Each structure stands twice: as C-alpha cells, then as structure tokens.
Structure 1
Amino acid sequence: MNRREATFEAIAARGSFPVVILGGGINGIGLFRELALHGVDCLLLDKADFAAGATSKSSRMIHGGLRYLENGEFGLVRESLRERNRLLVNAAHYVAPLRTTIPIFGWMDGIVRSPLVFLGLPVKPGGRGALIVKCGLTFYDLVTRAQRRTPRHFFNLKGAALRTLPRLNPGIVAAATYWDAYITQAERLCIELIRDARALNPGSHALNYATVEEVRGGALVVRDGIGGATCAVEPRVVVNAAGAWVDAANARLGLATHLIGGTKGSHLVVDSRELHAAIGDRMVYYEHRDGRVCITFTFMGKVIMGSTDIRVEDPETAACDAEEERYICESLAGVFPGIRVAPEQIVHRFCGVRPLPASAEETTGRISRGHMIEFAEPDTGRPFPVASLIGGKWTTFRAFAEQTADRVLPLIGAARKGTTEDMPIGGGRGYPAGAEEKARWIERAAAAHGLSPARVEVLLSRYGTRAEEYCALPEARAERPLASLPAYTDAEIRWIAAGEQVEHLSDLVCRRSVIALLGDARRDALAELAAAAGEALGWPPPRREEEAARALRESGA
C-alpha cells in the first residue's frame, strides 16, 4: 500500500471530521493550517492538484493594493499591507521586497475622475497623475510607519527618471518609486503550509485529486480521483474554498448559488534580454490606454508581463488567448516604446480566474478584491452548514483564514489557542537574515554535508532552511545534474516526487517547481524528469511516457 492509499484508507476508516475544506488553493490551505493550530481535525480535498487554480496563476505580487484606494477600499489596503509585512518575515525564503516604479504622464490627471470613481459613480478608472499617485503612496507609508519593512516612496522628475530608466517613454513628466513585494515559489509555499499543518495536528489530512460527488445520508461521498475508491465522510461544517468553482462545488452539496463572478487574468513570461536590461531589478507599474493597470517585472532571469481582467463564465475554459497576448504586448509600447516583444520570445503563458463576488458592475476593475464568507444553514438531506469563501487574494490568505476560523470554531465547540500572525512557514523557519548570515549558513551547510557552496545556495533559494533536509541525505552527495536541465539533479527530483504528494509529472513541473513557469518544460527535459520521478513513484516506462505527454500539454510548452 502506497502513501496515498494509506491516507485514503485512514480517511475512510475514520468516517467523520469536524471540518471538511473543499479546495486546496491558498485560501483553503491557509484555513487548513489555521484550524490545525487550534487542534481541529480537518480534511482538505481538491479535485485537482493543490494550488492548481488561480493560486498558481497569479501575478506573484504580495502587495498592498495601491489601486484599491481609488475604490475606497482603505480597510483592504491596510489589511493587505499588514499581511505583506508579515509574509516578508514569516516566508522570507520566498517573499522579498520589490522596488516598483510608476511612470507618470501628467501632474493633475485624474483629479476629477478618481473622486468620481471613489464615490461609486459609473466612471471608468484611468489617467492617474502625480497628485493622485502621491496621495496613494503617502497612505501606503502612513499605514506601515509603525512596522516598516520597506523604504519610503520617492518621486523623480523626468530627467532623473530617464537617467535611471533610459528606455522609458520620454513623454513622462515624472516617475514614482515605492516598494511592495513578490513571491518566487508561490506553489511551494502551499505545500509547506500543508506540511506545517500536519505537523501541528497529525489528525488532519490533505488529499489532492479527490472530489465530493454528492451528499448521501447526511455524509459527503468522497471519490479518490487516482485510485477510484469512494468513502463516506460526515462533517460538522463544510468550508467551500473552491475559488472560481465555489458555485459548482455548492451544487454537489445540493446548494444552488450564484456567489462568484470570476474574471480571468492572463500573463506572459518573456525571454528578452533587451526588456530585462531596460527594467532592471524592479517592477514597472503602468496604465494601458483603457485605464487598466498593467505590470512588467524581472523574475528569475525572465520577465513577467500582465495582466487582463475579463469576465469568464466557466473557469474550466479560461486560457490566455491571442487577443490577450496582443493586448499585453501592446500595453508595453506605452512605457517602453522602443522595445517590442516578438512571439518567439514568449516562453510561457498562464491564466487564472479570480474568485470575485458576483456583480453587475460593468467595469471589472471596480469589483472589490476583498473577501467575505457566505453561510448556508443545515437543510433537509444536508445536516451541516456550508461556509462559502468569496474573493480573497494571495497577500491576505492568512487574515482570511483567521477570520473564517473565528466563524467556524464556535460551530464545533472549539476555541482559539493562538495566532499564526508571527508563525514562520516551512523553510522560512530560521531563515538567515541578511547577506552575511546567509553566507555563513551556506558555508556551514556545505561543509557539514559535503556539497559545494554554490549548490547549497541554489537549494536554499528553492527550499529555504528545508534545504538541509535534502543536503543530509546520502543521495544528495551522489546526485547527478539532469542533462537537459542541469539546474536540477536526479536525486532532488526523486526527493520532491516522493515527499510532496506528487501524483502526476505536471504537479512537479508546474506546482512543486518553477520549471514550467520559466519555459523549461521541454520534451527532452520532461522525459528526463519523468524518469527521475518515475523511479521514486514506481512508474513503469509506459506511464512515464504518458506523464511526460500530460505535463507537456498542461505546461503549454
């Protein structure tokens, strides 16, 4: 019996859990850890892999939400900035400050329009001048003044701005620079949160590729999407954290809801030395001509560009289409008019559906990016309440989980036992602060385990302090770089596959690493990755070929 079969058998044998969470995105996983802290046994289920939805297809920004101020969402921005600062500490191995520059093309633009947007009048946002930007960034600095983790903002007039970024559109009058943050390994942070939750409470279980088919006899009928077995699970509370699929998941529970009005956001990953050099180590945050805010920033040697904001009825059909690709590339011309992105420079495309609340608002940018909980009381044939999570974003997942737990705990007679506010996540535990401390950590680990400092540095960047778990393995000292992907080794891939609930090769290349994101999921690399993962998971040669083909399709390579 393999580990997955043993987990499913344990779930079936138990037959009941105080809380069942549907959806293994960041909101569901965040709640899983939150409840584990309070000693609540939870069952977390996802119909696909963990983080397979919008969680792995976001802009990778950990930010306060500067543009939300225009919609009057001051509370959301305050909360987001607090949570951003916590992640900079608790997940320092993956979350880092990001210098951000806003090109400004007028001094007083938006002085009439922005107040009308703020008042909720039917005006499209756009045309934000220096005064409006200054007000927003001043609010940013005021909110974080007591626990400052990033420098204050500053303005450069045209001349200084063009000296710093000479490829910028010379039509600017100024440029504002401030700091937010970004996350390198968003998907891996989800896996770490699951591991942390299980360590806090071994009575909790998380299973990917598992669906709730219906409610029968007051219990959830759970199907293992890998092995095909079913079992009955009686919950006291169900939390629907299925993101864009909330209404579909509710339908399986016998609830007819229309809570979600998703919009898709598409991004491009570009391999352009010219654009990379023009931006440097920063993000450029700018408006397209329709008023939509776009971003371009350097990421692990590539450039990420985005995004769109288009209504979508069925999240299963969401994909980055040719029109969105054209839109994103055109938007760049407004800020870097001398740089063109050629189709062959696009190495990856990704698209996620934001789980926004259903809204009749014509301008999607006006729909709140906040979060809320909708409760459905027990009903005939469903003897348990359902809490549906609406909205939310990466930055605020911990706060959303905390607020949800405070609503759920009284329903099961449990009490809060602590807080996750200052709780390190995974490899962020004991992560070295500053360059000198990091260099000492690398030198010590390299000497202790017989690996080169350069290799330990790579592992530390990928896994944080959990890298030492791998370094201590005998296999690590005998590792061999993959011929087609020498940044990874055979032993490293086997370690990930065996220990992180990998069911398909696409899980590994898309959600346990950034291989697909960086455009490295090529046929030759996938064949070699399938061989290494297959060795750990017992895949025979035909299965390895199938997994490589599946990963090629999912990664869009």
Structure 2
Amino acid sequence: MEEHFDVLVVGGGINGAGIARDLAGRGWKVILAEASDFAAHTSSSSTKLIHGGLRYLEYFEFSLVRKALQEREVLLKSAPHIIWPLRFVMPHDKAMRPAWMVRIGLFLYDHLAHREVLPGSTSVNLRSSKLGAPLKAQYKRGFVYSDGWVDDARLVLLNALDARDKGAEMLTRSPVTSVQRHAQGWTAQIATPEGPRQVHARALVNAAGPWAESFLRAVAQPVQGEALATKHLRLVKGSHIIVKRCFEHDHAYIFQNPDKRIIFAIPYEGEYTLIGTTDVELAPAALEGFAKASIDESEIAYLCSQASRYFTKPVLPADVVWTYAGVRPLLDDASGDPSAVTRDYLLETNTLGAPLLSVWGGKITTFRKLAEDAADLVGAMLGDRRSAWTEKAMLPGGDLREWIGAPVRPDSDFERLVAAVNQRYPYLPPKLARRLARAYGSRIDRVLGTAARISDLGMAVAPGLYAIELRYLQREEWACSADDVLWRRSKLGLHYSEAERAAVAAWFQQNPL
C-alpha cells in the first residue's frame, strides 16, 4: 500500500534533519529516510565548532563568514545545553602571518555581524598568562577571540526530535533503494528494518551529504532520461585525534601551520584534548556501501607534528587514545587546494517534473539558515509559501525557563540549570547530574521520570550509565546499538574500558526494543 506525503527528505545528517524540522514546523507532511543512524557520518565527525570560519576571510568568503557569524548567535541561544561559548588563543608566529594582518582579520570577525553573547577579540602576553604555560617559549604574544562549541551529533538528534514532535516521520536504518519521478510526484522504495515500504511524495529533498551526487546518479530515476545530477562534489576527509589533556585551562588553541592551514587544540570531555583537522581528498569509491571514513597514519603524524610545533610537551602518535574522521561534501568550485574549496552551500531546484531540491555543500554552523532557505524553496515549488519560524525557536531541551526563570546568557544559564538539577535530584552524583543536564537540558525529567533515589535508575550497565537512560534512548532517540549510545548520543565510549563498552553492547542484545 502506497503512503502519501508532501515531502520526502533523503539523509539524516544535520542538513536533512534541519530541513525536516523546518518543513514539519510549517505544517507539511514529511518523511525522512536515513540509511544509517542519525549523524552516523559527517555530522558526528566535525571539529564540533559553531564558528564564523576565521580562516575563510583569507579566501574573501565575507558573505559566508557573515552568515555563519549571524547563525552563531542564533544557535547559542537556541540550545545552551549542547552549544556554549568558547575562547580561542592564537599564538602569533611571525613566520606565518604578520600581526597587523591578524588584527585586521579579528577586527572583521568581531564586526561583520552583530554580537550579543560573545566578547570581542583581544591580545594576550603569553609569557605572563596561564594561556602561554603549555606553549614553547618562542611564542610570546597571541590573540584571543570567541566562537562556540557544539555537541554535533546531539545537535542532529535535537533537530530530528523536533521534527518528529511536529509530525514528521523519521526513519533510521532505512535506505532509499529507488525513487521514480513522475509528473505529480515521486514514488520511493524504502528498505526499513520492519520491511519494504513504498511512499509517494509531492517533492523530494536530496540531503544525502557525501552521497548527494551518487544518489541522483544511481538511485533516482528521472523522467525521459533527463540528468538529475548537474553538480559535482569534492569529497574531503577531515580527521581528528584525541589525546590526554594537554593543558589545564578552558580555552582552545588555533595553530597556524607552514602549509597555510590551521589546526585546533580544544578541551574535550574534561580529560582530553581534541586536535584537528586534516584535508585529504577522497575518490567517490571510498564511500561505496555507506563506508565510514577512517584516519590514515600519515594524518596522525601530521596532526601530532603540527601540534608539537607549539606545545612544550610533544604530541606523539603513541599518545592518541581515539580518532575519528568525516567526509565533507564540498561543492566543486575548481579550487586546486582542498582547504580553499568553499564551505558555503548551494540549493538547486529542479522542476522539470515533480519538485526536486538538492543540497550541495554546507557547514554545520549554517545548517539552520540552509534549512530555512530549503523550506522556502520547497514551498515555492509546491505553490504554497509558508512562513519561516526557526530563527527564534528553541531546540528540544534548550528552553530552560521552567528550571531557571528568565535567561541571561547561555553559559551562565547552563550553570543555573546544573544547580537546579542538583537541587531537584540530590541523589545524583554531581558528575552524572552535569552530564545529563548537558545531554538533555530541560528534558532531563523525561529521562529520569519519577526516580526518587539512585536505585530507581535501574541497573548500572556501565559507570554512570543506568538502564533508565538506555531505555529512554531506545524509546525516544532511535538508539539501537551500543555505538549509537557510546559515540553519538554521548561520548561515554571514550571514558569506558573495552569490557565496559561490551557490557553496553550486551544490554542491547538482551533488551531489544
């Protein structure tokens, strides 16, 4: 039996989830199909920054930087539990860029868009500041500026949750095996875990990320042999390493490299430092069968070498405790250097038959604006323009007013939430209370329910992870496996031993949904 929808969205990364949320909030009947898990690929493998992209100023991407800086403010206010301000230290290296050039860049960065939440840039004497303590003595001065940090995988989840709350049907582990274009709509075959489904949608949104081009070439069946794929993607792998904490303070570093690239060294999960990223071009064949990208030894060596140019204590490959890699689907703009390829997005409409919208490129910071623009275009193609709504809207868990009263600023608001959680659930260990507040924000009571003591949380499957939370993640957040929980719904896998990770896997085997 064929089911009918207004829009089928293909892809459950940040762009697909954001578009589904926006469309559903405008009243469209939406179904989203993701072949793997939400944020299983690119959208959980970013450098986890909400930023304007300071280095893009060198490529004169002023429009992109302004758009990203505007969105930075919007997102910081929409989800203060998973997005928060972060200060960055740039040690000045005379051999890289002159100080006057850095100052001009930071002035532009401070003033290209209106700022309410984040402080502006300043200079710092690294020899007399704690910010210089981990650095080699040759770095005597530096610059400090603001950006934001995000739990990228949970950002995707929050968009998916909001889309579902607004009526969208959100499918994971459900690849679209074929779509046939007709004059009045699209017929799609979806292989769900429960069996095949056939759906009819008036419009199709191709938000398949790194697979957006191959989806149009290999899965979509056009009318009368027309070519649906008119653009080319450049697939650029970005890899990261995690090492034990390299410094004690709460700022991050941005390091300039001799190859004119930059890397970040960012406080991560309390005990670690995240270092990345690389830019390695991939052939499309590398992603056949939804293969997951992985880091190469040469990338590990590169990141260790560049970080060691700055840190007094060298970063060695043997220090790496975890790695991850993602593939950025960048729109091919004929740039020779992968680092120079634009991070902006292009939304391409095709109305030669049933409406088709393809998402080319993009970055996590601008996902909300991309989704808003996409929903505007879909409405126009369907002949029914509906009003945008997400700019002032909170993401699930982000509205803290019932817990803390009127908001003041995102970072202090979150600390007030933690205090309120500790007061309402005094039996929670402080570390667990903070983690749950970070993950779920004002929805923490949906996880804990009526639990009045620690024993009400059920079995401790692993340290700080109880059955009550796993059941919530199964029931509400599409978690089907240990990997879903340990590496995307959280980063607990980084803190657990192999035996503890195995215990979580065993729980899922013993407690299927």
TM-score normalised by L of structure 2: 0.89
**Structure 1 counterpart of 2:135:** 168
**Structure 2 counterpart of 1:143:** 112
Structure 2 unmatched runs, 5+: 222-227
Q: What does 1:392-407 align with in structure 2 at a 5 Å threshold?
A: 392-407=362-377
- 2:57 aligned with 1:81: no
Q: Select 1:482's aligned residue among 440, 457, 460.
A: 460
**Deviation for aligned residue 1:177:** 0.5
**Structure 1 counterpart of 2:224:** none
**Deviation for aligned residue 1:409:** 0.5
Q: Select 2:342's aligned residue among 368, 373, 376.
A: 368
Q: SS at 1:530's partner residue?
A: helix
Q: SS at 2:343's partner residue?
A: coil
Q: SS at 1:296's partner residue?
A: strand
**Structure 2 counterpart of 1:259:** 232
In the superposition, relative to structure 1, how do residues 438 and 26 fare at CA in structure 2: closer, same or farther (>3 Å)?
closer
**Structure 2 counterpart of 1:412:** 382
**Structure 1 counterpart of 2:225:** none
Identity, % of aligned positions? 29
CA distance, structure 1, for counterparts of residue 464 and residue 31 of structure 2: 36
**Structure 2 counterpart of 1:9:** none
CA distance, structure 1, for counterparts of residue 35 and residue 475 of structure 2: 21
**Deviation for aligned residue 1:495:** 1.9
**Deviation for aligned residue 1:139:** 0.9
CA distance, structure 2, for counterparts of residue 78 and residue 436 of structure 1: 26
**Deviation for aligned residue 1:439:** 6.3
In the superposition, relative to structure 1, how do residues 445 and 406 fare at CA in structure 2: closer, same or farther (>3 Å)?
same
**Structure 1 counterpart of 2:445:** 468
Contact in 2 for aligned 1:105/1:173 (Cα 8 Å): no
Q: Select 2:504's aligned residue among 529, 536, 539.
A: 529
Q: Select 1:48's aligned residue among 36, 46, 53.
A: 36
Q: SS at 1:194's partner residue?
A: helix
In the superposition, relative to structure 1, how do residues 234 and 480 fare at CA in structure 2: closer, same or farther (>3 Å)?
closer
Alignment-mate amino acid for residue 271 of structure 1: K
Bigger strand fraction: 2
- 2:470 aligned with 1:493: yes
**Structure 1 counterpart of 2:427:** 451
Contact in 1 for aligned 2:237/2:281 (Cα 8 Å): yes
**Deviation for aligned residue 1:226:** 2.3
Q: Which moved more, 1:435-444 or 1:323-332?
A: 435-444
Q: Select 2:253's aligned residue among 273, 284, 295.
A: 284
In the superposition, relative to structure 1, how do residues 177 and 340 fare at CA in structure 2: closer, same or farther (>3 Å)?
same
Contact in 2 for aligned 1:38/1:415 (Cα 8 Å): no
In the superposition, relative to structure 1, how do residues 440 and 303 fare at CA in structure 2: closer, same or farther (>3 Å)?
closer
**Structure 1 counterpart of 2:15:** 27
CA distance, structure 2, for counterparts of residue 532 and residue 355 of structure 1: 35
In the superposition, relative to structure 1, how do residues 440 and 429 fare at CA in structure 2: closer, same or farther (>3 Å)?
closer
Deviating 4+ runs (over 6 angstroms): 434-437
Q: SS at 1:503's partner residue?
A: coil
Q: SS at 2:213's partner residue?
A: helix
**Structure 2 counterpart of 1:211:** 175
CA distance, structure 2, for counterparts of residue 158 and residue 321 of structure 1: 34
In the superposition, relative to structure 1, how do residues 476 and 290 fare at CA in structure 2: closer, same or farther (>3 Å)?
farther
Q: SS at 1:210's partner residue?
A: coil
In the superposition, relative to structure 1, how do residues 441 and 311 fare at CA in structure 2: closer, same or farther (>3 Å)?
closer
In the superposition, relative to structure 1, how do residues 358 and 150 fare at CA in structure 2: closer, same or farther (>3 Å)?
same
**Structure 2 counterpart of 1:424:** 394
**Deviation for aligned residue 1:444:** 5.0
Alignment-mate amino acid for residue 528 of structure 1: A
**Structure 2 counterpart of 1:339:** 313
CA distance, structure 2, for counterparts of residue 390 and residue 410 of structure 1: 19
In the superposition, relative to structure 1, how do residues 439 and 190 fare at CA in structure 2: closer, same or farther (>3 Å)?
closer
Q: CA RMSD for the aligned pairs?
A: 2.4
Q: Which whole-Å deviations, capped at 9, do the CAs of 1:479-536 have from their partners, x for residues lacking one? A: 25636x31222222222122211233322222211123x353x431123212433454
Contact in 1 for aligned 2:92/2:139 (Cα 8 Å): yes
CA distance, structure 1, for counterparts of residue 40 and residue 172 of structure 2: 10
In the superposition, relative to structure 1, how do residues 189 and 476 fare at CA in structure 2: closer, same or farther (>3 Å)?
farther
TM-score normalised by L of structure 1: 0.82
Alignment-mate amino acid for residue 69 of structure 1: L
Q: Which moved more, 1:392-401 or 1:205-214?
A: 205-214
Alignment-mate amino acid for residue 364 of structure 1: P
Q: SS at 1:39's partner residue?
A: coil
**Structure 1 counterpart of 2:193:** 226
CA distance, structure 2, for counterparts of residue 308 and residue 239 of structure 1: 30
Give the total of aligned pairs. Answer: 489
Contact in 1 for aligned 2:481/2:508 (Cα 8 Å): no
**Structure 2 counterpart of 1:130:** 99
**Deviation for aligned residue 1:212:** 1.7
- 2:121 aligned with 1:153: yes
Q: Which moved more, 1:67-76 or 1:439-448?
A: 439-448
In the superposition, relative to structure 1, how do residues 98 and 334 fare at CA in structure 2: closer, same or farther (>3 Å)?
same
Q: Which moved more, 1:260-269 or 1:523-532?
A: 523-532
Alignment-mate amino acid for residue 216 of structure 2: N
**Structure 2 counterpart of 1:270:** 243
Contact in 1 for aligned 2:240/2:276 (Cα 8 Å): yes
